[in-house]
Amino acid sequence: MKRFDPNAGEAGPSVLRAAPVTLWLPPFRMTSPVPTILLLPRYSDLGPSSRLRMSQFVPALQAAGFEVKSHPFFPDRYLHRYFADGGKDKWAAIEAHLRRIGTLLRAKADIMWIEKEAFPYLPATAESLVALRRTPYVIDFDDAIFHNYDQSGSGLVRQLLGDKLKPLIAGSAAIFAGNDYLADYALAAGAERVLDIPTVVDPHRYPVRPSPDDGLVKIGWIGTPANARYLAPVIAAMNALADRHALKLVTIGAEAVPGLIAPQENLPWTEQDEGELLSGIDLGVMPLVDSPWERGKCGYKLIQYMAAGKPVIASPVGVNSRIVTPEVGLLASDEREWIAAIDRLANDRNMRSAMGGQARRRVEQHYSLQAIAPAIVAAFRQITDQNREKAG
């Protein structure tokens, strides 16, 4: 497998290929002089993945001359239920599948942009409806969603759905992969073109403010209640350092965590307030366990902390090791290393400030909307231009 990385290891958009190839696309006719992209996100903008991986690029695509039509899969009431109690609205899911079939049969477009898959938990035969349109399509992956199937606890799911995404991937015009782990899977599944597209932020939404010099070190974590379980090594490290530093855990989006000696503050998450809330912490943390699902994560928490001008500490799992350089933060593999990392940053306010400044600059250069949107636009322009030539 040969890889082409014009950024020499940096985090900007890079092109990864199994081999130099001519991009294969099915024949089709342009529907109008203005190329139309049919956006098929999993959710509306209520869903973070859909908003960050797709919707935030729509203005740039429109400015470049594309018409964009969005048809989310799940209705908002599905997400409202999930956010409220973790439940899943089965009737909403059934309606979503029927609506997606109608969209694929009726909606006109020159290119389709699909988030993860067309039909969650349906077999590859359902996904084949995408290819039957004979419209070129791009698939976006920001999670190892394929492990929901090939590593399911159900033998039946593994048997029926384990390889469901591979034909869809192999027939794509391009794959947008949030990290190398996802890119490797796409290449192994037969993708001819994979672009490394990190999950990014708009830095303008993240004010940078110096932390008060009051002796208290606020350790920040942003996430959902379900993912607060990852905080175990941070809690253990903070407890071990309780007699040496005045520490406080600030969680955004999760309830109080049990077993912590130090004080904690639990703030509700809103999209409008997240940047402002992160400006009030001293450092951000992203602990993870090292397993296949976590290797598929895109390090978005780290990018948020860094956008707010904060140093970071993270587990060296998946893309975390690429995002966190020595200039912006520290990596910690186990409890001992978490203790050492927190101790080091808690001891040195100047180091925190210097790392935070470098972190903000790194985001602006490699993990910002402004840096990555041109790569998205260029990819769709290339697909459009090649198909105009084919349509001839």
State mean pLDDT over 320-338: 98
> In this predicted structure, what is the pLDDT of residue 391?
67
What is the pTM for the complete model shown? 0.89
DSSP, collapsed to helix, strand or coil, labels residue 113 as strand
State mean pLDDT over 102-118: 95
The Cα 43–Cα 366 span in angstroms is 26
Question: Is a pLDDT exceeding 60 seen at residue 11?
Answer: no
β-bridge mates for residue 283, sequence order? 219
DSSP string, 241-274: TTTT-EEEEEEESS-PPTT--S-EEEE---TTTH
Tokens encoding 295:
């290797």
Q: Are 282 and 218 in contact (CB under 8 A)?
A: yes
Domains of the chain: 14-200+368-391 (3.40.50.2300), 203-366 (3.40.50.2000)
Question: Is a pLDDT exceeding 70 seen at residue 247?
Answer: yes
> CB atoms < 10 A from the CB of 96, how many?
19
DSSP count for the chain of H helices, then E strands: 17, 13
DSSP, collapsed to helix, strand or coil, labels residue 72 as coil
> In this predicted structure, what is the pLDDT of residue 226?
84
DSSP, collapsed to helix, strand or coil, labels residue 12 as coil
> How confident is residue 31, by pLDDT bands cut at 50, 70 and 90?
low
Percent of the chain scoring above 90 in pLDDT: 79
State mean pLDDT over 317-333: 97
The Cα 280–Cα 219 span in angstroms is 10
State mean pLDDT over 325-342: 98
> In this predicted structure, what is the pLDDT of residue 30?
52
State mean pLDDT over 211-215: 87
State mean pLDDT over 56-74: 96
- Provide the terminal-to-terminal Cα distance of the chain, rounded to the nearest Å: 33
pLDDT one-digit tens code per residue, 351-387: 999 999 999 999 999 999 999 999 999 999 999 988 7
Q: For all residues of the chain together, what is the average pLDDT?
A: 90
> In this predicted structure, what is the pLDDT of residue 79?
78
